Structure 1
Amino acid sequence: MSEERGRAGAGELSGDCAECFGLCCVALPFAASAGFAVDKDAGSPCHNLRPDFGCGVHARLRQEGFSGCTVYDCFGAGQKVAQVTYGGRDWRRAPHTAQEMFAVFPVMRQLHELLRYLDEALGLEAARPLHPRLRSAYDAVDRRTRCGAAELLALDVAAQRGEVNELLLRVSELVRAGARGPAPASRRAAAKDRRGADLIGARLAGADLSGADLRGAYLIAADLRGADLTRTDLIGADLRDADLSGADLTGCVFLTQPQVESAKGDARTVLPPALARPAHWPA
């Protein structure tokens, strides 16, 4: 990776709960399941949310049945809505802002997710030919995150995602080209194109998936022990309960911390430097 990064400052693209108003704990719904102990409607505060907007069970979320919270990241959208869009006015002291604020938050979260991917792309040496376009796209999305609530709610987020996705696809192609093997290009492309594939529970232990396109693939509970995932594109891939023990993810692109937190792994799993080894993985 090059030293150049996007326009993000330190920590700007990861959640800072101390600067937020517990927006993910209120605005978003969840249903009683393996990830959540209870049902909660959108717009209703979680019963664990404290008056200071902290979480009453943060230190033991998994033990209390809220593992779903541990695999979520707003990518910094929460503090942007709280401190920029609403200037530090919280929904408890200004209840007239509550419903609007809760509607703005998911929009901001999508924009910040795009910023996170663009920021990563700007740090990739293979994507250097695209850096001018990536910087322009980053700045355009960032400007939109600083609009007022009404403008954010009127924004065509799908169109914005489509524009950015075109660039990210080009980045992916440039990165994955560096993982090409000796097989003929046509056969290699067919073997490595697993975009959106249903690989739920797939037995892929030790598989050579280097340079594969796994964008949006369903890898729930897949056996990826010892697999070669170097330079793979994992944007949007569902890794819940996938076993990454001993897998090599060196140079993979668009993998996020929530994806890693949702998977299984061990001390032998090789992660990209920007991602932390989950605390629940065995040492």
Structure 2
Amino acid sequence: MSTPGLSSDCASCFGLCCVLLPFSASAGFGVDKPGGSPCLNLLTDDSCRIHATLREDGWPGCTVFECFGAGQQVSQVTYGGTSWREQDNLAEMAAVLSVMRQLHEMLVHLVEVARRSPDPAADVVRAEIEQLTSADPETLLLADVDALHERVGALLSEASARVRRPWPAAQDRTRSDLAGRRLVGDHRGWSFRGALLIAADLRGADLREVDLLGADLRDTDVRGCDLSTALFLTQPQVNGAIGDRATTLPEGLSRPTRWAS
């Protein structure tokens, strides 16, 4: 069983996030839209009418969102290339997309464990999840995703501890409310797991080997930061942060185009 694509490929998707997911203007999506209703910007070929100007047109939420490849997996594998336009149960498809996105996000982290701190137990769970991503809709919807989250969470904690071991005095800011705070200096090996870092100022900080699993990085200023070996940093977190040309990202993550301005 090979690992499915773990980053979005909109050309291989039927615009599922633009149709199946609900969103609101207050969350940066321009308008309020219920789940199962196509976005007003979705074209008949499932492309976006304002993709090149989403932020300028008041849709920053779309630029932050990442499905981790769940969209094309559901489109091409789960439903065998059958579009939502030909489905009579969009509620089921939406639920499947939600499950698939969670599975793919877990795989993203387990792939990182295999690269940064290999663990046979993590390989076993990864293989289970990869097999599940190829299952039919009913099997996906019956899967105990919460139990998988617990198993994967424990494995990620163990991997994080191994990678951060060289910094025994590093501070633990897990689930701390650091919104708007100025955090300067050397934070190597710190844990910011689940921390609230909205609009925090981390400019120039050394963030190597920090654990950022689930940290809220909306409008977090990471200009000039070294995040090259940060743990469990995802594309949506990067997309929501404020960086620049001097911000160093981990392997496999893309620099948002707006960081160049």
- Does the alignment reach a TM-score above 0.5? yes
- For 1:69, the aligned partner's letter is C
For residues 116-265 of structure 1, the aligned pairs below 5 Å read 116-124=108-116, 127-128=117-118, 130=119, 132-178=120-166, 180=167, 185=168, 188=169, 192-204=171-183, 206-265=184-243
> Which amino acid in the other structure matches residue 150 of structure 1?
E
One-letter amino acid of the structure 2 residue matched with residue 196 of structure 1: R
Quick one: distance in 1 between partners of 2:253 and 2:148? 26
TM-score by length of 1: 0.88
Note the C-alpha offset of 1:208.
2.2
SS of the equivalent of 1:134 reads helix
- CA distance in 1: counterparts of 2:125 and 2:110, whole angstroms: 8
Deviations 1:203-232 (A, max 9, x none): 11x232110111111100000011111100
One-letter amino acid matched to 1:197: S
Q: Deviations over 1:165-196 (max 9, x none)?
A: 11011110011113x1xxxx5xx25xx11111
Find the residue that maps to 1:26 and give its secondary structure.
helix
How many residues align structurally?
Answer: 261
Letter in 1 for 2:241: A
Cα RMSD of the aligned pairs, angstroms, is: 1.5
Summarize deviations over 1:108-147 as a string: whole Å, max 9, x none: 10001001111111111xx13x1x2222111100111111
The one-letter code of the counterpart of 2:60 is S
- 1:75 partnered with 2:54: no
Using the TM superposition, give the Cα deviation of residue 276 of structure 1 relative to its aligned residue in structure 2, in angstroms: 1.9
Instruction: Give, in whole Å, the separation in 2 of the partners of 1:7 and 1:211.
Output: 32
| C-alpha contact 2:25 2:31 (8 A) present in aligned 1 | yes
Equivalent-residue separation in structure 2 for 1:83 and 1:57 (angstroms): 25
Once the two structures are TM-superposed, the CA of residue 66 in structure 1 deviates from its matched residue by: 0.8
Letter of the aligned partner of 1:60 in structure 2?
T
> Which residue of structure 2 lines up, in the alignment, with residue 272 of structure 1?
250
Question: 1:153, 1:276 → 2: CA distance?
Answer: 31
Shift of 1:34: 5.6
Moved over 2 A (4+): 6-9
Distance 1:159 1:212 in 2: 27
Where does structure 2 lack aligned partners over 5 or more consecutive residues?
A: none
Task: Please give the secondary structure, in 1, of the residue aligned with 2:88.
Answer: helix
C-alpha distance in structure 2 between counterparts of 1:230 and 1:137, whole Å:
27
1:7 positional shift: 4.6
| Sequence identity percentage | 52
| 1:146 counterpart letter in structure 2 | S
- Give the corresponding residue for 1:104: 96
CA offsets, 1:84-108, max 9 Å, x none?
111111121x232422112211011
Read off the aligned partner of 1:105 and give its amino acid letter: L
Q: What letter is aligned with 2:101?
A: R
Note the residue ranges of structure 1 that are not aligned, 5 or more in a row. 1-5
For the residue of structure 1 that corresponds to 2:115, the secondary structure is coil
